[in-house]
């Protein structure tokens, strides 16, 4: 192996953070110990002068980011070689945020090559549409072309949220944050999102801060977002009193930094009627060896028995906050956020002025989720005589609107799901095309997805009671039965296999009815949706053996949907994944080889029928499994009877509502959760 080339590191410190400038090639020479030592507070990696990165350099880079414990990390001016790593290497960004990168262009006329810097905050919409900004050739002035495939080069940036760095980042990049004396001026932004007013405070609050004009006319619920607040002088705190004491609106303070929490706790009267709904605190996972900033409710901080689970391995996280900071947070007036405040914190509200809010006869109210192929909205459908109906609209992303293969798959999903009319299946109402964008309109389900409920149960250390877990599974089996027994107009059997039965796709309505959602990868005999020969669809930890490791020529049948029902019942009763391991390969091996765990070792007093149901549902040979969803449902109903407990929809809804509230609602038919206790990389809400 050749000796690693020299890499130069320049450290430019400022109050509250630093800029780290790298120059040269990143190899085994990456100064990991030095970076970990100085990367405190708000940190920016300036990568403009990095010429290349080797495989060994990637290894050192990833190790470094796991050890860095800063409050915010941003990557700026990344050259194409580094952009490739963001696209190809999982977790290459760690807990950081990509701010800007160079885009390679080539002139088709004269062959001139040039790299142009792209700021994601300015060009995020173009990146998500895989449309490179127009550039003219510096030599011949002809229009240049991207010297790569847009879907490849913009892949990582397109799936991340628009960057929202602290104000110090711009000061560090511009060179105005001089060492030890930097001061970020105070600024305030006001937005009206749906029926919510949002005030974003940033910089340092001192005697020059003026809230009088912005406080005039406030009404309803108001969120004061303090994520970018850097410091408050004593005079600045007095200025804040004028805002927090305003009469009329209800103020909710969100994303409160620890330093600000300490300052406010020293004078509780300062807050007036304002309530704190979330704080930003540092945590670490001993198993994953990662530190991260978490946005949590102060109510959870006050409950010392509650421990946050790691999003990767569910190991309880350890707080890195100072005891004085935790004590201050416990003294703050806290509250759970009402619905529209929780929606804002989850990034799902659309600006009222946005042209995107109107989509044909649908009024888009807020975004529920987005992926690499489609986006999902809560919408209002309007018609004559004041008719209104809440629905969920799933819409193809712009760059796929001309992809005939994907459109065919998208419409095939709608066609398959629309065939099933059953109260335990989310319904499809409409499918079509508006302004060149294909969409599906489906049933709006006000409630919670089972995945959210199970995570909350883990946090509380309280599994579902046997009779309610069996009730949920029985309802899902009723929906599966309708899919598996579907017949066409001629009476010919056309069984529909879901292929992705999991807690994420089970929604429990506020009336206590479990519904099966997302037939996006379902299979019907005449479906054109074909899985590639070299891949599979679904979530590995919930797959039947024949789906996880298909034999040549073997066709799936409805019994593949019954295997995950056994996994879901086991998980609901024990709060453990039956076969989940550290990676998909080991999970697949466990599904194919490991013995089924015994409930009696984990749930004392559980009826013997529960283990019998799980054993039969999880039989690896499908001929030994339940022959139908109806047969499995019958045994689940008998299990409810064995417990001697009532398990009506009202009973289920009452139990769930006592543990979850409006901030946990999915309010949609695609199981896009809005879990309240969220782990966010350095305070930046993930996609």
Q: Is 202 exposed, middle or buried (0-12, 13-18, 19+ CB in 10 A)?
A: buried
- 544-571 pLDDT, tens digit per residue, is 999 888 776 678 899 999 999 999 999 9
The pLDDT of residue 608: 94
Q: Residue 675 and residue 571: Cα distance in Å, rounded?
A: 19
Q: Tell me what the mean pLDDT of segment 589-601 comes to.
A: 90
Fold of 185-345: Transcription Regulator spoIIAA (3.30.750)
Contact by Cβ (8 Å): 686, 680: yes
The pLDDT of residue 3: 47
Q: Tell me what the mean pLDDT of segment 601-623 comes to.
A: 93
The pLDDT of residue 291: 61
Q: Cα–Cα distances in Å, from 211 out to 187, 188, 208, 216, 284?
A: 11, 9, 10, 9, 37
- 635-664 pLDDT, tens digit per residue, is 999 999 999 999 999 999 999 988 875 445
The pLDDT of residue 687: 22
The pLDDT of residue 353: 37
User: DSSP secondary-structure letter at 385?
Assistant: G
Quickly state the pLDDT bin for 225 (edges 50, 70, 90).
confident
Q: Is 6 exposed, middle or buried (0-12, 13-18, 19+ CB in 10 A)?
A: exposed
Q: Cα–Cα distances in Å, from 235 out to 47, 211, 231?
A: 39, 13, 11
Contact by Cβ (8 Å): 633, 644: no
Least confident span in 78-92, 293-307, 667-681 = 667-681
| Catalytic-labelled residue, pool 27, 46, 71, 500 | 500
Closest CA to 297 of 347, 332, 325, 262: 332
- 415-472 pLDDT, tens digit per residue, is 777 888 899 998 888 888 888 888 888 888 888 889 888 888 887 788 999 999 999 9
* 401 vs 70: which has the higher pLDDT: 70
Tell me if 7-167 shares its fold with 185-345: yes
Q: Residue 517 and residue 539: Cα distance in Å, rounded?
A: 15
Q: Which CATH superfamily is domain 7-167 in?
A: STAS domain (3.30.750.24)
The pLDDT of residue 352: 41
User: DSSP secondary-structure letter at 683?
Assistant: G
Angle subtended at Cα 242 by Cα 241 and Cα 246, rounded to the nearest 5 degrees = 110
Q: Tell me what the mean pLDDT of segment 380-393 comes to.
A: 78
Give me the CATH code for the 355-445 domain, please.
3.30.200.20
Task: Choose the most confident range, by mean pLDDT, from 81-85, 320-324, 445-449.
Answer: 81-85
Domain residue limits, the chain: 7-167, 185-345, 355-445, 448-675
Closest CA to 74 of 41, 51, 52: 41
Does residue 23 sit in helix, strand or coil?
A: strand
Please determine, looking at this structure, whether the domain spanning 448-675 carries the CATH number 2.60.120.560: no
The pLDDT of residue 61: 92
The pLDDT of residue 437: 85
**What is the percent of the chain with per-residue pLDDT over 70, rounded to a whole number?**
85
Contact by Cβ (8 Å): 302, 276: no
**Terminal Cα-to-Cα distance of the chain (whole angstroms):** 40
SS (H, E, C) 577-638: CCCCCCCHHHHHHHHHHCCCCCHHHCCCCCCHHHHHHHHHHCCCCHHHCCCCHHHHHHHHHH
- Looking at the predicted structure, is the pLDDT value of residue 75 above 90? yes
The pLDDT of residue 474: 97
The pLDDT of residue 628: 96
DSSP string, 416-464: HHHT---TTBPPEEEEEEETTEEEEEEE---EEEHHHHHHHHHHHT-PP
- Is 500 known to be catalytic? yes
- 149-207 pLDDT, tens digit per residue, is 888 899 899 888 888 888 888 888 887 765 444 456 777 888 777 678 888 887 778 88
CB within 8 Å of 602: residues ≥ 6 apart = 573, 574, 576
Q: Residue 478 and residue 561: Cα distance in Å, rounded?
A: 12
Q: Tell me what the mean pLDDT of segment 524-536 comes to.
A: 45
Does residue 144 sit in helix, strand or coil?
A: coil
**What is the percent of the chain with per-residue pLDDT over 90, rounded to a whole number?**
25
Sheet holding 221-232, edge to edge: 187-193, 196-205, 221-232, 250-254, 275-276
The pLDDT of residue 424: 93
Task: Choose the most confident range, by mean pLDDT, from 210-214, 264-268, 405-409, 623-627.
Answer: 623-627
- 252-276 pLDDT, tens digit per residue, is 998 888 878 888 888 878 888 889 9
Q: Number of helices and strands (H, E) in the chain?
A: 22, 26
**How does the average pLDDT of the chain come out, rounded?**
81
DSSP string, 147-208: SS-HHHHTHHHHTSPPP---HHHHHHHHT-S-TTT--PPPEEEEEEETTEEEEEEEEEE-TT
DSSP string, 260-297: HHHHHHT-GGGGTT-EE--EEEEEEETTTTEEEEEEE-
Token pair 């065939």 is found at 419
The pLDDT of residue 292: 67
Reported as type and span, the H/E element at residue 101 is strand 100-106
Contact by Cβ (8 Å): 120, 162: yes
Q: What is the pTM of this model?
A: 0.52
SS (H, E, C) 202-216: EEEECCCCCCHHHHC
């Amino acid at each position: 192996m050749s000796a690693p080339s020299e890499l130069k590191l320049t450290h430019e410190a400022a109050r509250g953070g630093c800029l780290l400038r790298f120059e040269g090639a990143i190899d085994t020479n990456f100064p990991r110990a030095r970076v970990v030592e100085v990367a405190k507070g708000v940190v920016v990696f300036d990568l403009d002068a990095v010429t290349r990165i080797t495989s060994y350099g990637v290894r050192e880079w990833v190790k470094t980011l796991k050890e860095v414990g800063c409050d915010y990390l941003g990557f700026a001016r990344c050259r194409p070689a580094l952009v490739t790593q963001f696209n190809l290497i999982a977790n290459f960004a760690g807990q950081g945020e990509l701010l800007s990168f160079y885009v390679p262009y080539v002139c088709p006329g004269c062959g001139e090559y040039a790299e142009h810097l792209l700021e994601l905050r300015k060009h995020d919409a173009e990146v998500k549409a895989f449309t490179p900004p127009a550039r003219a050739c510096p030599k011949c002035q002809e229009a240049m072309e991207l010297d790569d495939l847009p879907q490849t080069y913009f892949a990582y940036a397109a799936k991340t949220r628009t960057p929202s760095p602290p104000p110090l980042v711009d000061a560090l990049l511009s060179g105005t944050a001089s060492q030890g004396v930097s001061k970020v001026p105070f600024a305030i932004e006001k937005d009206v999102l749906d029926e919510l007013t949002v005030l974003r405070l940033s910089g340092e609050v001192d005697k020059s801060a003026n809230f009088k004009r912005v406080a005039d006319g406030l009404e309803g619920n108001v969120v004061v977002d303090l994520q970018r607040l850097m410091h408050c002088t004593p005079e600045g705190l007095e200025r804040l009193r004028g805002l927090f004491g305003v009469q009329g609106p209800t103020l909710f303070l969100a994303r409160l930094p620890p330093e600000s929490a300490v300052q406010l706790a020293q004078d509780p009267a300062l807050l007036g009627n304002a309530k704190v709904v979330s704080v930003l605190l540092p945590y670490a996972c001993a198993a994953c060896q990662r530190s991260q900033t978490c946005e949590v409710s102060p109510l959870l901080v006050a409950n010392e028995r509650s421990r946050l689970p790691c999003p990767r391995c569910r190991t309880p996280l350890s707080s890195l906050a100072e005891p004085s900071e935790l004590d201050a947070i416990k003294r703050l007036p806290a509250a759970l956020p009402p619905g529209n405040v929780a929606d804002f914190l989850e990034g799902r509200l659309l600006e009222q002025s946005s042209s995107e809010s109107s989509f044909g006869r649908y009024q888009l109210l807020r975004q529920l989720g987005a992926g690499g192929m489609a986006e999902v909205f809560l919408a209002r459908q309007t018609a004559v005589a004041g008719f209104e109906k809440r629905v969920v609209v799933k819409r193809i992303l712009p760059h796929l609107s001309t992809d005939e293969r994907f459109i065919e798959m998208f419409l095939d999903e709608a066609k398959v799901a629309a065939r099933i009319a059953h109260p335990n299946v989310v319904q499809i109402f409409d499918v079509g095309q508006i302004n060149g964008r294909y969409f599906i309109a489906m049933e709006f389900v006000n409630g919670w997805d089972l995945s959210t409920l199970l995570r909350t149960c883990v946090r509380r250390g309280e599994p579902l009671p046997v009779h309610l877990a069996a009730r949920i599974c029985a309802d899902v089996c009723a929906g599966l039965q309708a899919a598996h027994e579907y017949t066409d107009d001629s009476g010919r059997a056309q069984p529909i296999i879901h292929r992705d039965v999991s807690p994420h796709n089970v929604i429990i309505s506020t009336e206590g009815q479990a519904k099966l959602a997302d037939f996006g990868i379902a299979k019907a005999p005449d479906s054109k949706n074909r899985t590639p020969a070299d891949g599979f669809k679904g979530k590995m930890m919930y797959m039947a053996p024949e789906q996880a490791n298909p034999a040549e020529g073997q066709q799936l049948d409805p019994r593949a949907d019954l295997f995950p029902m056994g996994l879901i019942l086991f998980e609901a009763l024990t709060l453990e994944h039956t076969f989940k391991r550290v990676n998909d390969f080991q999970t697949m091996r466990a599904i194919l080889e490991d013995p089924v765990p015994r409930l009696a070792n984990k749930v004392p007093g559980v009826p013997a029928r529960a283990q019998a149901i799980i054993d039969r549902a999880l039989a690896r040979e499908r001929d030994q499994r339940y022959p139908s969803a109806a047969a499995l449902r019958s045994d689940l109903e008998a299990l409810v009877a064995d417990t001697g407990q009532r398990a009506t929809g009202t009973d289920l809804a009452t139990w769930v509502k006592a543990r979850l509230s409006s901030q946990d609602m999915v309010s949609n038919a695609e199981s896009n959760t809005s879990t309240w206790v969220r782990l966010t990389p350095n305070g930046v809400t993930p996609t």
